[in-house]
Each structure stands twice: as structure tokens, then as C-alpha cells.
Amino acid sequence: MSRLIDLTLPLAPGMRGVEITQKFTVADNGWNATTLHLYSHAGTHMDAQVHFEAGPETIDQLAPARCMGMAWVINLAGIAPRSLIEVASLGEVEKRFQDGESLLFRTGWSQHANNPALYRDGLPRISEALARWCVARKVKLLGVEPPSVADVNNLPEVTRVHKILLGGGVTIVEGLCNLEQLTAPRVFFVALPLRIVGGDGCPCRAFGVEGEENESTEQLARLLA
């Protein structure tokens, strides 16, 4: 039996970069509709190459096939704030990883989403060495729980890591949650952004599918490789 786990932070008024206002109501207009003002990197989101000028690709040019695939779940629960995630952090996955697969880093960091000082300023981050390893191994999707893969308060670092990954063809997904609900070491991971023309990034809906070596997802993963 397969199981689908939603890995997306809910977007709500009051969140950083989120404003939702009522535009129409059933009482006044016959239907309900709202106006959304969203920061392109709010909540669970994906980065496009132009986010750091790592290449010309915009979020609308990201093919659906590059937004899904088999992913290894790396359990780093309890990692200390501001820790560097290195190649050694992959453990046995470093040997078992097949080129073109994806990586999800479970750190438990989403539990701090309502504490901006820690969530944003104390996040564990991807090392430059690991970023280069990901490019060399053709990692398709790299998913993390913090709002960034690198220190947002260190412009040189955050720029270098993003440029290495995005410039090397690795699609970054940030702000994931519920990774502790994944029980399999390897899942079928999907993260789909809105098709915003010229977009540097976009909130997305992300989820993982796990089960008894799900043949359908394995076959789909091979087709998308």
C-alpha cells in the first residue's frame, strides 16, 4: 500500500511574504475570491537559476520532469543550529546514490518556522563541498527544511552555494516540512511550482510517496530520468 505525505508549509496571512486580502464575497458579488500577494520565496518554494543569476532559466522553463523523481531521505534530526551539512553527512547513501536521483534532508528545522530568529538566522546549511558533490552526481532535486540552503546573512556564502547548485542543474526546494513522517529511506518526491513567466522562484506544493517498493513510481522515475 502506497502512502502520500504532504511536505508543504501552509501559506497563511501573517507569514513572511504572504498577504491575502478579500476581493469579492458571495454576499456582495455572488462569489468568494481573494487577492494574493506572495514573495516568490515564501513558505515551501523552489528556486530558478535567475534567482542568483546562476543561469538564464526562469521558473516557468522548469520542465515537470525535473520536478519529480526518486529521493533519498537523509536523517539529520537534531542537527545543531548553523551546522554545515557535508558529504560525510550522507552516510551510506553516498555509496548507494545513483546519478540523477534526488536528496531530502530531514533536520526537523520546520518546527522552528514560527520562530523567525532561529528559523532564518540559525539554519543548518549545505556546504560548498556537498553542493559540488551534488552537481557531480547529477542530483535532480535537493530539498531542505530551512528557508534556504545556505546562510542568508552571509551574502558570499549564500551566493556561492546557490550558484554551484543552480548553475550545475540542481533544482533547489526550500522550506519543506513533515519529513519526520517519511518512514522509507527512499521515496518518490514531487515539487510543482506555478508557471510564472520570468519567475526567479515560486511557492510550490511538495509531497512524497512511499510504500512497498512502489513499481509505478519506480517506473515513472525511470521514464523521467
| Domain at 92, CATH number | 3.50.30.50
Provide the pLDDT confidence category of residue 198 given band limits of 50, 70 and 90. Answer: very high
Residue 57 domain-assigned?
Answer: yes
Cβ–Cβ < 8 Å for 174, 147: yes
Amino acid at 126: I
Cβ–Cβ < 8 Å for 94, 129: no
Specify the pLDDT at position 39: 97
**pLDDT of 210-224, one tens digit each?**
986 555 555 565 555
d(C-alpha 123, C-alpha 61), whole Å: 29
Q: What angle do CA 105, 198, 158 make, to 5 degrees?
A: 40
Residue 4 domain-assigned?
Answer: no
Residue 20 domain-assigned?
Answer: no
User: What contacts 198, CB < 8 A, 6 or more positions away?
Assistant: 50, 58, 60
Q: What angle do CA 207, 73, 92 make, to 5 degrees?
A: 160
Residue 1 domain-assigned?
Answer: no
- If one counts the domains in the chain, the total is 1
**pLDDT of 103-161, one tens digit each?**
999 999 999 999 988 999 999 999 999 999 999 999 999 999 999 999 999 999 999 99
Q: Range of 217's domain?
A: 40-224
Question: Closest Cα to residue 61, out of 51, 70, 48?
Answer: 48
User: What contacts 106, CB < 8 A, 6 or more positions away?
Assistant: 73, 74, 75, 76, 77, 145, 179, 180, 182
Residue 201 domain-assigned?
Answer: yes
Residue 76 domain-assigned?
Answer: yes
* pTM attached to this predicted model: 0.93
Residue 193 domain-assigned?
Answer: yes
Instruction: Give the pLDDT mean for 87-94.
Output: 98
Residue 17 domain-assigned?
Answer: no
